[in-house]
Structure 1
């Protein structure tokens, strides 16, 4: 168990005046208990218990000892809570099913939604080191793929080779299904690789990441195959400047997430391209690929030291092209750091 993280959770429980929290989310369970194979984690003010099934019980016992209980039925957990005098129980409504919450209707149920994500948003040293490792693994894998990008390769061939290189360089697995989108396919932000071949004049968008020690990285590069026309140079540079200036403007403990988003959009507006920017500017990353904070126009959360998130402006012109550039940013006390910066990124 990670007692320091548990202590912060218990402080949060005191704020909500609850006796216990029931956690079903695998990332939450790993964050507080260090156990990576799931189960249900019960956190009370004076004890912590992980309920598991028979398949992982012995594995959990080796790590957590007598803090593990064999039992996967929700009734078993309810009995445990009742035997410990629990009255008010917190649940994350977005990360629990209706059936899971309904099983505890004899207790006073309290909305604890997103509170664990708020704690996980501020990374500790071990988490930052794990994210760095994942980013370096992904960068080194891509260095092996980059020299072979050329017209005639299919999107699937690039994605498959990158997946192979990620494993070779130490990734547990891909952080998510790699996106390779070429030409008009790049106008779809979540395009899945196809047999379409790269053609001269295509923009090629590659969005990928590695999972290492349970933590993720997330990076996107865009490359132009063939001659750099003035029109395509301007499109690329608009996105590049949006990423550059929105990253540089971050002042830890002062800048709001919404202000970073608006800066990126204003840069795109200078080129008349802001209408093609159709998603948020970025998201936190850690045990899950998408975590707090989210950088969008509605989030007025102030950016704090030890947050790690992406900056990923993009434009998507239907039927024509797409361009997205994404890097991960670590917020420090007085400045920011781009994690695993890649100097070979194309600049037009």
Structure 2
């Protein structure tokens, strides 16, 4: 994804070389035509051995050391490339998180794509809800939602949709199965569309064909309050751990601290999970221009779960919720 962000080329086999003299992308013949349509300021080389070719190009530019993304390589691959670099009189240096940190701040074109993905997502959910009926399987609901995302302008789903009914809603990342939706269930739907390579992420929880009982209402209200508190505190410069703490304290006051079992959120962009990570164990701050999720949840194993999630743009002038959809507990079917 870093190659795509740097150059605009979406390829399963590509490397980008950035020096003080030029930007070069190396890819194989399957992507040659797309590469030749990139910005004219980007040099293009076609070679299946993309990393070896990039190292050779750096040597031609007079580089004596070359940073290479450590997360992208196995130990064996790094050893092979180190030998190639040594033969060229260069040293390879493993680097981590440099491009990811830059990607955390979105420019206008990226925000436009994320907005389009979010709008396709929420439009699809609006179209789906009136069609849900008691007796439908989770898989059927998920596939209908993904069809609607395509009809509403999404180019693909951002990730496999999560549709979790009844006790399955207590599983944070449940994969849709054959369980049929029943009256009185909580139905948790975590989904998103992709537009121009950028991902939306949204979750809503609904009550099916009935009135929530007191326990369901209490949990839902606590999650809704937690999400609202976190969105209100979200701003450039806030520590990610502090933002997580704010959301978690609301749930703790309601007696659900131990049932919020994951981090509060994450960045979104060319990948569904990007920097910054918003969690108690994470370090760093929210940069201006970030687009992140806020997604507190409470999960009662064997009973039900609730999550409310939004994709939010963070600027100095405030927070814009891109996944604009009601958060009140809504009855469906």
Q: Would you call these one fold, judging by a TM-score over 0.5?
A: yes
2:232 maps to 1:248: yes
Which stretch of structure 1 is more off in the superposition, 325-334 or 175-184? 325-334
- The 10-residue stretch of structure 1 (299-308 or 123-132) with the greater mean CA deviation from structure 2: 299-308
The match for 1:81 is 58
Deviation at 1:158, TM superposition (A): 0.4
- Give the equivalent residue in structure 1 for 2:68: 91
Contact 2:104 2:287 in 1 (8 A): no
Distance 1:264 1:306, change over 3 A: same
Question: Which position in structure 2 is the counterpart of 1:34?
Answer: 8
Matched residues, number:
321
CA contact (8 A) 1:123 1:308 kept: yes
CA drift of 1:130 comes to: 0.7
Which whole-Å deviations, capped at 9, do the CAs of 1:125-170 have from their partners, x for residues lacking one? 1111110000001111111101122321110010000111111111
RCO comparison, higher one (Cα < 8 Å, 6+): 2
* 1:41-60 superposed matches below 5 A: 41-60=16-35
Partner residue in 2 for 1:145: 128
Alignment correspondent of 2:278 = 295
Q: Does the CA-based 8 Å contact 1:203-1:222 persist in structure 2?
A: yes
SS in 2 for 1:86: coil
1:270 CA displacement = 1.2
Q: Match for residue 77 of structure 2?
A: 100
* 1:256–1:299 CA contact under 8 A, matched in 2: no
**Residue 102 of structure 1: how far off its partner (Å):** 2.2
Which residue of 45, 54, 63 corresponds with 1:69?
45
Aligned CA RMSD, in angstroms, stands at 1.7
Of 183, 187, 203 in structure 2, the residue corresponding to residue 204 of structure 1 is 187
Cα separation, 1, equivalents of 2:272 and 2:155: 14
Partners of 2:151 and 2:233 in 1: CA distance:
37
Contact 1:310 1:326 in 2 (8 A): yes
| Cα deviation, residue 310, structure 1 | 0.2
Q: CA deviation at 1:35?
A: 1.4
Give structure 1 stretches of 5+ with no counterpart.
Answer: 1-26
